[in-house]
Every structure is written in structure tokens, then in C-alpha cells.
């Protein structure tokens, strides 16, 4: 065992479990690639101000959870706690919005970091797949992204998740609601930090998960009662598009999410099998974020889905993904000449796209066949001195146990024929 361990609140992904994570990422990414979203990758750290401005200085993410540090050169940087601000920054820096083909549709996958109390389903290092549609104000985009996430989860076999939907209004109607909510909150028995948060951004208080706070929020004014006509119409069109496609959702007038940049449409995917940490992903529209970080007006919408949470949701439902073995063929050489012959065969099979492994370290037949079984290979190729003297190798079907002698020159084609 190593002297060192993974830092508290983090984890290592190792086979065979890592295959499930890769399959989840692929399932989420597949509908995005099929819908015009191109892949983007951003640095693991950014300027602190990017998140302070975009995510919000009053959020727990910025005030309590962000890993911030100063470099030797005096720069203030932070490990990315979320993906949207970084992706929008990258799109603006590359002037993608000036290409004349809006919206800019991007998807990403990576690790994110937040300093918080580790618990099941909530880590200090976590993995997400996200999508952003930048530069267009259209209810169809909001609906499209919700549908793509819904389709991704259903393709994985998940069924017991719920979609919560709300509208947070815009710069016209939200200030009126903000004032009404502040008046309500000032009359509650809240601690100093929460009261201070209520003055900076009262919607953050609605997102407070503490029971003592939630009990006092009964009877709080609801944003839906303050929406302007434009926001009402926008939200109703999103709902109509989802209804037309048979996407089941729940209207949740208290849903605000944990980031300051959301406007109008906001949504969350939750799974009740995960206990208190029920959110598996979510997102919404963020029409003002570009201006917050120094860019032009670019109405946008996006989401991020947690890979870790999604894996836990699959486990909660008892869904086992059909993950093909990493190895289709396993070669077992018995002797030096067999090593040279089978190594050439293995290389040819690999170059032809066949997942093939090799028995290394000069193991005997028994030990090599144990490795072949562990690898999940469908076929093994075994060769010893007597086989090679006859110009053949032994091709064995690991499921049926059938074994046939195949000429060395024909083994690659014989393997391909059996794997079809």
C-alpha cells in the first residue's frame, strides 16, 4: 500500500467501475453530438473573478466552497467549481459569437471542485457532463436541452427521476419580486449570515437546505406570481414544447438553483433514491452572464449533469449497464517462438480494430487462462511448440469451450469471422 492516499472528499476511478462512468459520460454526450453541439475543453482553473462575477459573490460556492489560491506570480486563481462560466469565457475569448452562426452550441466533460463536507453523492472532486447554447433567446432551445438530458437518462435505463421546472423572471420583473421577498425575510428569525444574504440576494435564502430555515419560508411570496407578461409567455412556450414531446415534469415555484446567473427557465433533475442529495443535474437560462464577465449581450441556456450522481441513481434503481468487455481476444504463447508469432498476430488484430490482450511475463497455461477468464475475452489463441511445428494455433471459444486448430496464416480472419 502507498504511503499516500487520495485527498479527503475525492476518489479514484479504477476498472471495472470506471467503465460505468465512461458509459454514463458517453450516454449523456451522444444526444448532444447528434444535435449540433461541439466539444469544448477549458482549463481546470480560472481567474477567481470569473466565478465571483458569474456564479455570484453571495453564493456558498464562492464564499465557502471555492478552492482559491495565489500563484507565485501573484495571480488569484480558483479551481473551477462549475462549467458554465468557463465555457462562456472560452467562447467569448475565441469570438465564436462573431462567426454569425448563433447559437453557439457546445458540450463539455470534466472534473470540478468544491470544498464542502464529503458525503455519499457529494464530493470535493466530482465529474460532470454539460451543454451550453450561447447567443439565442428561444424557448425551443430551453426545451431542446431538457429533452436531450431526459433522453440521455432514459437511454441509460433510468426511469425514477423527476424534472422540476420553474421560471426566475428577468431584469424587468425579478426586482419587484426581490423587494417583496426581502420584506418577507426581514420578518423572520434568521441568523446574521442568512439575513446578510437576504439583503444581497434573497433568492439564495430560498435555496437554503436547513430545516429551520425552510419551515419559516412557508408562505413566502412566489416568483411565478410576479412574472411579467413576457416571462409568462416564454415559460408557457417551454412547457408547451415539453408537453408536445411527452416529457413529464413538475412545476416547482420554489426552485431557484444555487447560482446567481439564472434567468427565466430553470430546471433540475432529481432522483428520490439518493436521499437528501437528490439532485443529479440541472440548469437553466442565463441571459445576463455574458455582460457580467465583460462580454456583449448573449442570451444563453445550459445544463450540467453529475456523472457521480447518475451512477448512484443507476445503483439505486438496480440498473446494470450492458458494458462490453474491454478485451475480445486473449493470446497465450507457450514458449519463445510462440511469443514472437502471437505478438505479431496480436498487433495485426489490434490494428484491425479487434480488442486484444496478451499473456505477459512467461506464465504457464493455467495462469494465462485464468487471466484470459478475468479479461472477459470471448476467444483465446493458444500456441505451443507442437502447434507451431504443425503450422497452427489453437482457437478456443471461452463460452462454449470449443477449440479448433487454425493455420497461423488464417488466424486473423478466423477470429474476425467468429466475432461478427
User: Is it the case that residue 59 has pLDDT exceeding 70?
Assistant: no
Q: Rounded to two decimals, what is the model's pTM? A: 0.90
**DSSP track, 54-121:** HT-TTSHIIIII--EEE-TTS-EEEE-S-SHHHHHHHHHHTTGGGSS-PSEEEEEEEEEE-----BTT
**Structural domains of the chain in order of their starting residue, each with its CATH number:** 17-173+227-317 (3.30.930.10), 329-419 (3.40.50.800)
pLDDT tens readout for residues 73-111: 999 999 999 999 999 999 999 999 998 889 999 999 999
Higher per-residue confidence, 209 vs 168: 168
* DSSP assignment letter at 417: H
Binned at pLDDT 50, 70 and 90, residue 52 comes out as confident
Q: Which helix (H) or strand (E) holds 265?
A: strand 263-271
Q: What per-residue confidence (pLDDT) applies to 360?
A: 94
Q: What per-residue confidence (pLDDT) applies to 371?
A: 93
User: Is it the case that residue 318 has pLDDT exceeding 90?
Assistant: yes
pLDDT tens readout for residues 333-342: 999 999 999 9
Whether residue 408 contacts residue 341, with contact meaning beta carbons closer than 8 Å, is answered with: yes
Residue 244 burial (CB count, 10 A): 9
Average pLDDT value over all residues in the chain: 92
pLDDT tens readout for residues 13-26: 999 899 999 999 99
Instruction: State how far the Cα of 268 lies from the Cα of 116, in Å rounded to an integer.
Output: 21
Binned at pLDDT 50, 70 and 90, residue 260 comes out as low
Higher per-residue confidence, 208 vs 41: 41
Whether residue 134 contacts residue 104, with contact meaning beta carbons closer than 8 Å, is answered with: yes
Sheet of 403-407: strand order equals: 356-358, 329-333, 379-383, 392-397, 403-407
Of the CA atoms within 13 Å of residue 400, those in its CB half-sphere come to 7
Q: What per-residue confidence (pLDDT) applies to 193?
A: 84
pLDDT tens readout for residues 274-313: 887 789 999 999 998 999 999 999 999 999 999 999 999 9
Amino acid at each position: 500500500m502507498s504511503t499516500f492516499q487520495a485527498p479527503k472528499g475525492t476518489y479514484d476511478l479504477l476498472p471495472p467501475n470506471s467503465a460505468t462512468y465512461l458509459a454514463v459520460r458517453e450516454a449523456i454526450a451522444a444526444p448532444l453530438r447528434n444535435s449540433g453541439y461541439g466539444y469544448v475543453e477549458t482549463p481546470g482553473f480560472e481567474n477567481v473573478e470569473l466565478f465571483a462575477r458569474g456564479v455570484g459573490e453571495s453564493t456558498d460556492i464562492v464564499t465557502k466552497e471555492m478552492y482559491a489560491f495565489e500563484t507565485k506570480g501573484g495571480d488569484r486563481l480558483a479551481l473551477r467549481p462549475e462549467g458554465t462560466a468557463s465555457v462562456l469565457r472560452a467562447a467569448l475569448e475565441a469570438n465564436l459569437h462573431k462567426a454569425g452562426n448563433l447559437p453557439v452550441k457546445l458540450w463539455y466533460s470534466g472534473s470540478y471542485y468544491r470544498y464542502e463536507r464529503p458525503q455519499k453523492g457529494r464530493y470535493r472532486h466530482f465529474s460532470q457532463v454539460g451543454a451550453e447554447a450561447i447567443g439565442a433567446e428561444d424557448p425551443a432551445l430551453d426545451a431542446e436541452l431538457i429533452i436531450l438530458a431526459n433522453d440521455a437518462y432514459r437511454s441509460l435505463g433510468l426511469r425514477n427521476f423527476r424534472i422540476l421546472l420553474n421560471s426566475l423572471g428577468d431584469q424587468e420583473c425579478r426586482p419587484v419580486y426581490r423587494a417583496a421577498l426581502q420584506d418577507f425575510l426581514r420578518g423572520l428569525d434568521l441568523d446574521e449570515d442568512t439575513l446578510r444574504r437576504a439583503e444581497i440576494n434573497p433568492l439564495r435564502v430560498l435555496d437554503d437546505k436547513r430545516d429551520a430555515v425552510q419551515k419559516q419560508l412557508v408562505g413566502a411570496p412566489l416568483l411565478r406570481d410576479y412574472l411579467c407578461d413576457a416571462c409568462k409567455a416564454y415559460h408557457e412556450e417551454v412547457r408547451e414544447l415539453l408537453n408536445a414531446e411527452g416529457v413529464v415534469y413538475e412545476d416547482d415555484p420554489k426552485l431557484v438553483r444555487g447560482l446567481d446567473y439564472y434567468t427565466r427557465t430553470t430546471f433540475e433533475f432529481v432522483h428520490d433514491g439518493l436521499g437528501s442529495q437528490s439532485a443529479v443535474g440541472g440548469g437553466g437560462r442565463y441571459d445576463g452572464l455574458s455582460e457580467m464577465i465583460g462580454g456583449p449581450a448573449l442570451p444563453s441556456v445550459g445544463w450540467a449533469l453529475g456523472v457521480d450522481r447518475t451512477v448512484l441513481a443507476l445503483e439505486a434503481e438496480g440498473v446494470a449497464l450492458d458494458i462490453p468487455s474491454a478485451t475480445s481476444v486473449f493470446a497465450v504463447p507457450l514458449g519463445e517462438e510462440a511469443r514472437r508469432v502471437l505478438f505479431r498476430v496480436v498487433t495485426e488484430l489490434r490494428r484491425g480494430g479487434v480488442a486484444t490482450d496478451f499473456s505477459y511475463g512467461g506464465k504457464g497455461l493455467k495462469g494465462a487462462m485464468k487471466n484470459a477468464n478475468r479479461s472477459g475475452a470471448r476467444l483465446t489463441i493458444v500456441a505451443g511448440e507442437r502447434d507451431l511445428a504443425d503450422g497452427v494455433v489453437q482457437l478456443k471459444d471461452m463460452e462454449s469451450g470449443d477449440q479448433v486448430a487454425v493455420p497461423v496464416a488464417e488466424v486473423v480472419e478466423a477470429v474476425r469471422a467468429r466475432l461478427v
